[in-house]
Chain A
């Protein structure tokens, strides 16, 4: 048989192989997720001034269903390490338009973003409270600032205050801020003021909707100093569950939960979310994302490098007892063990879960999404979401209102940065 005949034979053989692989079998059906529909996203929109490298997007929905997005972008007049401004806009028309941006900072904020991004929360009355990291004189994570705006009003410089109440040159960063159902606002962050081997987790509470905050207090020890905490509320705000990444003396970095059942005055010892056994030296910038549904089930999604390369991936776990214990983890997607991937989870009014994360495809970081309707045990097929393969995509962030799922992320190409926002109808609508 000459080479030409061999090529023909190979061509037809491959064709047969492909068609036979496409044929659906009972075995395929048995292993197939029960949710098979991908979500149809609308066209993406750009967020922020594209000339000023917008980045670090963050999303939140108010009690009355209004979605807001925040981001930072270059302040052309600023120099040094604090070179960014923070803006917040309402997201309108199902994610196709943005409202007038409101600048939240009165001085340039940290240019390093990433997991240490500026965030905000929405008060029960529609007011906004932002939390912003500054690079310190000597340290990468210096002071934390808060800023307050009445509903629909601009942020006022008279309502900008320093959150950390020490005067130490110390690390304060990797924050979370959230509004309790009772209207109080809780801020938590990773704090190095006591100069221990590992950082601590600190908290402050605002009783006036975000205008002022309480004295700082320690709520956890042995915290990974560059892994964001996450706050959720249960039981009308009487129970507060907060996740962070614990560091043991051998540098094992498992995610844990600490709980308060007295409105945030005291917190429990850390409760393991998953015993991943991942060891990391240095600063992995790898937090977990948690969300609580209407049934007060806590859902968690995170990346871990695992004990072995084969274990590395994006995982999900849930707690049905308010964070006192977690079911064994479930693998959502395999991932590389040496590149930290960021995740985010949210839950809609029907308790459908949505998880978004960064993973590699064709050696390029992209945003992926899967969802899991309430009552299901499997996730939908994974679908890629970012729509421009020429840009690297990072840091996905999700939120929902009554009709839509909102997904924003940051993209980089060379020295350029930008933010995309895409929306789709909620699963099942």
Chain B
């Protein structure tokens, strides 16, 4: 690099440094939007709250918790084949309808889902895709779950919809790959607007 190049590089570095440490009164708009949402969201009507998102592997919480009690470790939880005890391992290979479910990531339960839908309604695609309202097909799979925190202290999470973490481009950019989770078991998906109805409202 010649002298001119060095001079240009030095000047550019100095001006860039000046810019970086130059205080601005107002942050750019994207920084404002990226700021964490305030706790006051809890006071918003539920259909005005932004849904929270949880990522991880769907696990059978019954198996995982039993194994944690017995072994003191989450080591085999993500594999969903929990113990060396063959019986329990076999029983834990796949998530069963009705078993408690959690989302597990980085050696930690990220969220305990408030329901594990049994499924119902029309099977929309092949058996591999399974019933859109059941979680069994996601056992051991990396997913993204959206919903609402009922209690962050206990990681209790009301799931509204789920998708696999890996999607093909068309699905990701059109349908988003989401499947509504039917927590009510009767074909009526969780609808945030229902929660707004006052207990005193007429039927």
Contacts and interface: CB of A to CB of B under 8 A. Distances in A.
Interface of A: 3, 6, 9-10, 12-14, 16-17, 19-20, 112, 114-115, 138-141, 171, 225-226, 280-286, 305, 337-342, 358, 364-365, 392, 394-395, 410, 412
Contacts of B188: none
A341 B170 CA distance: 9
A281 B142 contact: yes
B126 interface: yes
A16 B129 CA distance: 56
Contact of A139 (B126, B141, B164, B169): B126
B19 A340 contact: no
A234 B77 CA distance: 48
B10 to A, nearest CB: 10
Interface residues of B, number: 34
In this complex, which of B12, B140, B170 has the most chain A Cβ atoms within 10 angstroms of its Cβ? Answer: B170
Contact of B169 (A138, A141, A283, A365): A365
Contact of B166 (A14, A284, A395): A284
A226 B14 CA distance: 54
B141 A114 contact: no
B6 to A, nearest CB: 10
A112 B150 CA distance: 37
B125 interface: yes
A17 B126 contact: no
Interface in B120-169: 123-129, 137-138, 140-142, 164-169
Nearest to B7: A16
The 7 A-B residue pairs whose C-beta atoms are closest, nearest first, are A13-B15, A281-B141, A140-B126, A340-B168, A140-B125, A17-B12, A285-B168
Interface in B1-47: 5, 8-9, 11-12, 14-16, 18-19, 22
A71 to B, nearest CB: 15
Contacts of B170: 114, 365, 392, 394-395, 410, 412
Contacts of B142: 281
Contacts of A395: 170
B174 interface: yes
In this complex, which of A115, A171, A340, A410 has the most chain B Cβ atoms within 10 angstroms of its Cβ? Answer: A340
B18 A10 contact: yes
Contacts, number: 106
Interface of B: 5, 8-9, 11-12, 14-16, 18-19, 22, 123-129, 137-138, 140-142, 164-174
B15 A339 contact: no
Contacts of A140: 124-126, 129
24 contacts: A6-B19, A6-B22, A10-B16, A13-B18, A13-B19, A14-B16, A16-B12, A20-B8, A114-B168, A138-B123, A138-B127, A140-B126, A226-B128, A281-B140, A281-B142, A282-B128, A283-B129, A284-B166, A338-B165, A342-B168, A358-B169, A392-B170, A392-B173, A394-B173
A340 B14 contact: no
A20 B5 contact: yes
B150 to A, nearest CB: 27
A392 B11 contact: no
A283 B126 CA distance: 10
A13 B169 contact: no
A3 B22 CA distance: 9
Contacts of B165: 338
A276 to B, nearest CB: 14
Contacts of B16: 10, 13-14, 17
Contacts of B18: 6, 9-10, 13
A338 B167 CA distance: 6
A112 B174 CA distance: 13
A14 B11 CA distance: 9
Given A10-B15, A139-B126, A139-B127, A284 B8 contact: no
A225 B167 contact: no
Contacts of A305: 166
A394 B169 contact: yes
Contacts of A338: 165-167
A285 B171 CA distance: 10
B12 A392 contact: no
A305 B168 CA distance: 11
Nearest to A115: B168
Nearest to A358: B169
A13 B127 CA distance: 61
B126 A340 contact: no
A339 B19 contact: no
Given A13-B14, A16-B8, A281-B140, A225 B169 contact: no
Given A9-B18, A13-B16, A20-B8, A340 B125 contact: no
A282 B166 contact: yes
B19 A341 contact: no
B8 A282 contact: no
A294 to B, nearest CB: 32
A337 B172 CA distance: 13
A50 B102 CA distance: 45
B11 A16 contact: yes
Nearest to B24: A3
Contacts of B169: 339-342, 358, 365, 394
B11 A340 contact: no
B172 A12 contact: no
Contacts of B126: 139-141, 171, 225
A191 to B, nearest CB: 12
Contacts of A115: 168
Contacts of A171: 126-128
Contacts of B168: 114-115, 284-286, 339-340, 342
B103 to A, nearest CB: 14
